[in-house]
Amino acid sequence: MPAYINEIFNSVQGEGPYVGVRQVFVRFEGCQLHCAYCDTPQTRKVSGTCRIEKTPGSGDFYSVKNPLERDEVAGLIRKLWSPSTRHVSLTGGEPLIYSDFIMSLDIEYPIYLETNAGFPEKARELKDKVTIASCDIKLPEHDSTDHYDELLKNELETISIFNETSKTFVKVIILPETTKQSLSSAVDGVASIDRNMPFVLQPVTSNTSVSSSKLAELMDFAGKKLKDVRAIPQTHKMMNLL
């Protein structure tokens, strides 16, 4: 099956514990959630075109028609690989929607999956193909879904699945209104899976910033049950990168 893709380009990973690592990004279209803070709202629905970077890191793009076939995508990834590139980042939107496409993607590079972790059955299909899994846990104040308890259950199951075979970490977006109470289910859930799993608090990138005191308070709260709690902002925004 072909896939609807928003863009393919080479840049630097700006989030989480692999910040600063060069990657080829494949940004899929389509997402089952509607997070209030979403920084790629254009990917929620599918579109008729995909933009492709001409050369690695150039920021110069051309457009092709959607959807794209797997062999075409594999060829574009190879073209955009560079000597310092280390992973292919499958992001979105929500890449797990295209689990069949990803399974059939014949590339020789390590896969770094960025997912909202809402599809455990698809995670199970892909767990042996993914090298690094960046899994979100949404909080109630993110306004991501009308069925929060079900989403949280699916997220924790997905995280547990990927943790069996992949280098897995959890990322939680922190809003100014985030509290210890709203974070507690995420902390308890990850602690029940693996206390050593990296747990990244990412302050939202917006005009309303998260205070340093709040971030410190939430880190200490999570640190009572988890051994690797980090605060990492969106660094690619600081460097004006994609």
| Domain span holding position 192 | 5-238
pLDDT at 205: 84
Q: Are 99 and 122 in contact (CB under 8 A)?
A: yes
Q: Within a 10 A sphere around the Cβ of 60, how many other Cβ atoms?
A: 10
| Whether the predicted pLDDT of 239 surpasses 80 | no
Q: Are 170 and 199 in contact (CB under 8 A)?
A: yes
Q: Is 190 left (phi over 0), alpha (psi -120 to 50) or beta?
A: alpha
pLDDT tens digits for range 169-179:
999 999 999 99
Total structural domains in the chain? 1
| Whether the predicted pLDDT of 32 surpasses 90 | yes
Q: CATH number, domain at 64?
A: 3.20.20.70
| Whether the predicted pLDDT of 29 surpasses 80 | yes
| Whether the predicted pLDDT of 208 surpasses 90 | no
DSSP state of 203: E
Amino acid code (one letter) for 62 = Y
pLDDT at 68: 99
pLDDT at 206: 76
- State mean pLDDT over 195-203: 98
Residues 6+ apart with CB under 8 A from 15: 134, 171, 200, 202, 232, 234, 235, 236
pLDDT tens digits for range 96-150:
999 999 999 999 999 999 999 999 999 999 999 999 999 999 999 999 999 999 9
Q: How confident is the model at residue 236 (pLDDT cuts 50, 70, 90)?
A: confident
Q: How confident is the model at residue 46 (pLDDT cuts 50, 70, 90)?
A: very high
Q: Are 197 and 190 in contact (CB under 8 A)?
A: yes
Across the strands, what pairs with 65?
Answer: 49
pLDDT at 69: 98
Q: Within a 10 A sphere around the Cβ of 40, how many other Cβ atoms?
A: 15
Across the strands, what pairs with 22?
Answer: 12, 85
